[in-house]
């Protein structure tokens, strides 16, 4: 672990009770790790169903094992509530609430502000407050600090304020919450040291940076890096389509270079709560400083246009077989935003479904992780994947390549397969397979 030299100023008894606001994909796994480190934790969430599930020891997050949650709840190390009054006795408070974009692509930090108002009501001396929600550089010291200092308490002396970006990758089998290095940036050096002392008990590696603004920028760089590179390779897929080339073959060949190249892969669009959203926080912030973030905007346009490209390509494939897209039966395989997770947030499958329905297609889907869809104006249930269902579809459209799918059997039963993920690589079948 990496600590500043004076972190020992905080006693072993410091930070024995923690509260985590927001029990979602970030908050619940974090609360579990804090509890496993021997710190009593209470999770706060306004959704009663989540609170009841936690208190019953029932996990609704794939990366949190129910048996672990049950043990922590029974031992009294972890509980949940809808009441913010528990903050009165919290030594550390971690804010893990959503930060969506408005339709205008402006940051919506209303969830952060609401959480901050509740924390401010119960702010007391010695308290450590950590913001983990992704936001634009300057949020912690421009929006949070002034509200807390209204209490008359002084930051770095009476209370400690820090930004520490979440780095959750749902479904990752190697890097979980605990063994992913933790970035920490405080308003003052004392704030950073307080967070290092606290998170040093929870994470395998804690890495301090010079300020909260730097820590905020770190998170945006990480996700902008992915967004821009995915945008670049998606555009490469569009160019390869024009040139009659297999983009997957091109990428695999380029990846044999042992230096100066990192492979990224195209797809039907970006999904999840981070990569499609976070770069726009940075772009918005820079616009206020009269700077246009060209890479971010261009990558965003390309990535957002991929569902439309997929549907247009599908339309051409059907036309080649003498069928219009209107009235055609399209079976979508996988609607989660990435493989082997139950997360539908910002999934490109939703856009693909919308576009297909608007064109009059008869759309159904299968996803073992998502039994039903009740978003984007649609109510659909995952249908059972049988040879009859596959053979009845005019086209099987692979949007998410879950590892549980037997793509050889799927292709053998289907009439036409449109693969947007290169999931059928190496599959030999008489069925026509077309790739992105």
Taking only the tens place, the pLDDT of each residue in 303-348 is: 999 999 999 999 999 999 999 999 999 999 999 999 999 999 899 9
The domain spanning residue 124 has which CATH number? 3.40.50.720
The SS3 assignment for 406 reads coil
- Same-domain check for residues 369 and 419: yes
Cα 344 to Cα 215: distance, rounded to the nearest angstrom: 28
Q: Give how many domains the chain has, as a whole number.
A: 2
- Same-domain check for residues 242 and 363: yes
- Residue 21: which residues within 8 A CB-CB, separation 6 or more? 27, 44, 45, 84, 93, 94, 95, 96, 97, 115, 118, 119
- Same-domain check for residues 191 and 267: no
Among residues 185, 214, 243, the one where a domain terminates is 214
- Same-domain check for residues 171 and 235: no
| Residue 79 counted as domain residue | yes
Using CB atoms within 10 A of its CB, is residue 220 exposed (0-12), middle (13-18) or buried (19+)? buried
Residue 295 has pLDDT above 60, yes or no: yes
Query: Where in the sequence is the domain holding 363, given as residue range(s)?
Result: 224-436
Instruction: Given the residues 274, 395, 404, 411, select the one marked as catalytic.
Output: 274
The predicted model gives 163-187 an average pLDDT of 94
Backbone angles phi, psi at 380, to 5 degrees: -135, 150
Report pLDDT for 3: 46
Residue 111 has pLDDT above 50, yes or no: yes
| Residue 34 counted as domain residue | yes
- Residue 244: which residues within 8 A CB-CB, separation 6 or more? none
Residue 44 has pLDDT above 90, yes or no: yes
- Same-domain check for residues 354 and 273: yes
Task: Measure CA 241 to chain center.
Answer: 29
The predicted model gives 266-284 an average pLDDT of 88
Q: How confident is the model at residue 13 (pLDDT cuts 50, 70, 90)?
A: low
- Same-domain check for residues 277 and 320: yes
Report pLDDT for 130: 98
- Same-domain check for residues 295 and 159: no
Report pLDDT for 170: 86
Among residues 196, 214, 232, the one where a domain terminates is 214
Report pLDDT for 101: 84
- Same-domain check for residues 204 and 232: no
Using CB atoms within 10 A of its CB, is residue 256 exposed (0-12), middle (13-18) or buried (19+)? exposed
Q: Within 10 Å of residue 284's Cβ, how many Cβ atoms?
A: 18
Quick check: is 404 catalytic?
Answer: no
């Amino acid at each position: 672990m990496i600590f500043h030299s004076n972190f020992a100023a905080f006693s072993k008894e410091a930070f024995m009770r923690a509260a985590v606001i927001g029990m979602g994909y970030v908050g619940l796994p974090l609360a579990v790790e804090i509890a496993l480190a021997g710190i009593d934790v209470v999770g706060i969430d306004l959704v009663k169903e989540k609170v009841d599930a936690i208190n019953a020891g029932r996990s609704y997050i794939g990366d949190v094992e129910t048996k672990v949650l049950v043990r922590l709840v029974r031992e009294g190390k972890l509980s949940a509530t809808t009441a913010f009054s528990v903050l009165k006795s919290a030594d550390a408070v971690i804010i893990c609430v959503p930060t969506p974009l408005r339709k205008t692509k402006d940051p919506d930090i209303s969830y952060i502000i609401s959480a901050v108002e509740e924390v401010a009501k119960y702010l007391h001396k010695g308290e450590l407050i950590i913001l983990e929600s992704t936001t634009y550089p300057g949020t912690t010291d421009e929006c949070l600090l002034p509200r807390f200092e209204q209490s008359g308490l002084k930051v770095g002396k009476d209370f400690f304020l820090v930004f520490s970006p979440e780095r959750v990758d749902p479904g990752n089998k190697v890097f979980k919450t605990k063994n992913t290095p933790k970035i920490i940036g405080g308003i003052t050096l004392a704030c950073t040291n307080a967070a290092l002392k606290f998170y040093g008990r929870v994470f395998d590696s804690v890495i301090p940076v010079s300020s909260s603004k730097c820590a905020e920028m770190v998170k945006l760089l990480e996700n902008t890096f992915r967004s821009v590179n995915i945008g670049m390779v998606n555009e490469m897929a569009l160019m390869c389509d024009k040139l009659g080339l297999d983009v997957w073959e091109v990428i695999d060949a380029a990846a044999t270079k042992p230096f100066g190249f990192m492979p990224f892969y195209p797809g039907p669009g970006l999904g999840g709560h981070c990569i499609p959203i976070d770069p726009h926080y940075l772009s918005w912030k820079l616009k206020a400083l009269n700077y246009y973030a060209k890479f971010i905007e261009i990558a965003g346009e390309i990535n957002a246009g991929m569902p439309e490209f997929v549907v247009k390509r599908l339309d051409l494939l059907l036309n080649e077989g003498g069928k219009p897209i209107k009235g055609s039966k399209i079976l979508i395989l996988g609607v989660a935003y990435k493989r082997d997770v139950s997360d539908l947030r910002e999934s490109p499958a939703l856009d693909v479904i919308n576009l297909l329905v608007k064109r009059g297609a008869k759309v159904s889907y299968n996803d073992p992780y998502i039994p039903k869809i009740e978003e984007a104006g649609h109510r659909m249930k995952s249908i059972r994947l049988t040879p009859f269902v596959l053979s009845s579809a005019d086209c099987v459209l692979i949007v998410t390549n879950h590892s549980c799918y037997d793509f050889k059997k799927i292709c053998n039963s289907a009439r036409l397969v449109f693969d947007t993920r290169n999931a059928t690589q190496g599959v030999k079948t008489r069925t026509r397979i077309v790739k992105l």
